[in-house]
Amino acid sequence: MATNTSDFLVQRLYDWGVRRVYGYPGDGINGVMGALNRSKERITFIQTRHEEEAAFMACAHAKFTGEVGICIATSGPGAIHLLNGLYDAKLDHQPVVAIVGQQASTALGTDYQQEVDLISLFKDVAAPYVHMATSASQIRHLVDRAIRIALAERTVTCIILPNDVQEMDAVASPERKHGTTYTGLGFSRPDVVPARDDLRRAAEVLNAGKKVAILVGAGALGAGEEVAEAAERLGAGVAKALLGKAVLPDHLPFVTGSIGLLGTKPSWELMMNCDTFLMIGSGFPYAEFLPKEGAARGVQIDLNPRMLGLRYPMEVNLQGDAALTLRALIPLLEKKPDREWRETVEKEVREWWQVMEARAMISAKPINPQRLFWELSPRLPENCIITCDSGSAANWYARDLKIRPGMMASLSGTLATMCPGVPYAVAAKFCHPNRAVLALVGDGAMQMLGNAGLITISKYWKTWSNPNLVILVLNNRDLNQVTWEQRVMNGDPKFDASQDLPAFSFAAYAEQLGLMGIEVSDPKQIAGAWERALNADRPAVIDAHCDPDVPPLPPHITFEQAKGYLSSIFKGDPNLGGMVRQSARQMMSSFLTRNEKNEK
DSSP 8-state symbol, 292: P
- Where along the chain do the CATH 3.40.50.1220 domains lie? 196-348
Mean per-residue pLDDT, 216-225? 98
Q: Are 500 and 456 in contact (CB under 8 A)?
A: no
Angle, CA of 20, 449 and 437, to the nearest 5°: 55
CA distance 403 to 377: 8
Which residues does 342 contact at the CB level (< 8 Å), separation at least 6?
235, 236, 237, 254, 336
What are the backbone dihedrals phi and psi of residue 409, each rounded to the nearest 5 degrees, phi first? -155, 140
The candidate with the shortest Cα–Cα distance to 388, out of 499, 481, 461, is 481
**Which amino acid is located at 176 in the chain?**
R
State the pLDDT at residue 570.
Answer: 67
* Banded pLDDT at 360 (limits 50, 70, 90): very high
Mean per-residue pLDDT, 491-506? 92
State the pLDDT at residue 559.
Answer: 61
In order of 216, 272, 285, 291, 571, the CA distances from 278 in angstroms are: 9, 14, 15, 11, 44
Is residue 52 pLDDT above 50, yes or no? Answer: yes
Is residue 600 pLDDT above 70, yes or no? Answer: no
**Total-model pTM:** 0.94
Is residue 596 pLDDT above 70, yes or no? Answer: no
* Banded pLDDT at 583 (limits 50, 70, 90): confident
DSSP result, 112-163: -TT---HHHHTTTTTTT-EEE--SGGGHHHHHHHHHHHHHHHT-EEEEEEEH
pLDDT tens per residue, range 199-213: 999 999 999 999 999
State the pLDDT at residue 307.
Answer: 96
Angle, CA of 448, 67 and 69, to the nearest 5°: 35
What are the backbone dihedrals phi and psi of residue 194, each rounded to the nearest 5 degrees, phi first? -65, 165
Q: Are 118 and 438 in contact (CB under 8 A)?
A: no
The candidate with the shortest Cα–Cα distance to 264, out of 363, 345, 167, is 345
Please state, as a whole number, how many other Cβ atoms lie within 10 Å of the Cβ of residue 324: 17
- In the structure, how many helices (H) and strands (E) does the chain have? 24, 18
Mean per-residue pLDDT, 258-263? 94
CA distance 317 to 302: 8
pLDDT tens per residue, range 303-352: 999 999 999 999 999 999 999 999 999 999 999 999 999 999 999 999 99
State the pLDDT at residue 10.
Answer: 98
CATH architecture of 196-348: 3-Layer(aba) Sandwich (3.40)
Which residues does 319 contact at the CB level (< 8 Å), separation at least 6?
192, 194, 302, 303, 304, 305, 308
pLDDT tens per residue, range 72-94: 999 999 999 999 999 999 999 99
State the pLDDT at residue 580.
Answer: 74
Which residues does 118 contact at the CB level (< 8 Å), separation at least 6?
75, 79, 100, 102, 132, 158, 160
pLDDT tens per residue, range 4-24: 999 999 999 999 999 999 999
CA atoms within 13 A on the CB side of 519: 10
Q: What count of residues does the chain have? A: 600
Is residue 590 pLDDT above 80, yes or no? Answer: no
Percent of the chain whose predicted confidence (pLDDT) is above 90: 84
Topology of the domain comprising 362-592: Rossmann fold (3.40.50)
What are the backbone dihedrals phi and psi of residue 36, each rounded to the nearest 5 degrees, phi first? -65, -40
Q: Which CATH class is domain 5-167?
A: alpha beta
Mean per-residue pLDDT, 365-392? 97
pLDDT tens per residue, range 439-461: 999 999 999 999 999 999 999 99
Is residue 353 pLDDT above 70, yes or no? Answer: yes
* Banded pLDDT at 107 (limits 50, 70, 90): confident
Higher-pLDDT residue of 567, 388: 388
Q: Are 314 and 308 in contact (CB under 8 A)?
A: yes
State the pLDDT at residue 576.
Answer: 75
Q: Where are the alpha helices (DSSP H) in 330-380?
A: 340-360, 369-376
State the pLDDT at residue 566.
Answer: 67
State the pLDDT at residue 599.
Answer: 47
Please state, as a whole number, how many other Cβ atoms lie within 10 Å of the Cβ of residue 222: 15
Is residue 357 pLDDT above 90, yes or no? Answer: yes
The torsion defined by the Cα of 25, 28, 33 and 34, in degrees rounded to 10, comes to 140
- Where along the chain do the CATH 3.40.50.970 domains lie? 5-167, 362-592
pLDDT tens per residue, range 108-150: 888 888 889 999 999 999 999 999 999 999 999 999 999 999 9
DSSP 8-state symbol, 4: B
Helix (H, G, I), strand (E, B) or coil at 169: strand
Higher-pLDDT residue of 388, 594: 388
CA distance 84 to 422: 15
* Banded pLDDT at 493 (limits 50, 70, 90): confident
CA atoms within 13 A on the CB side of 30: 8
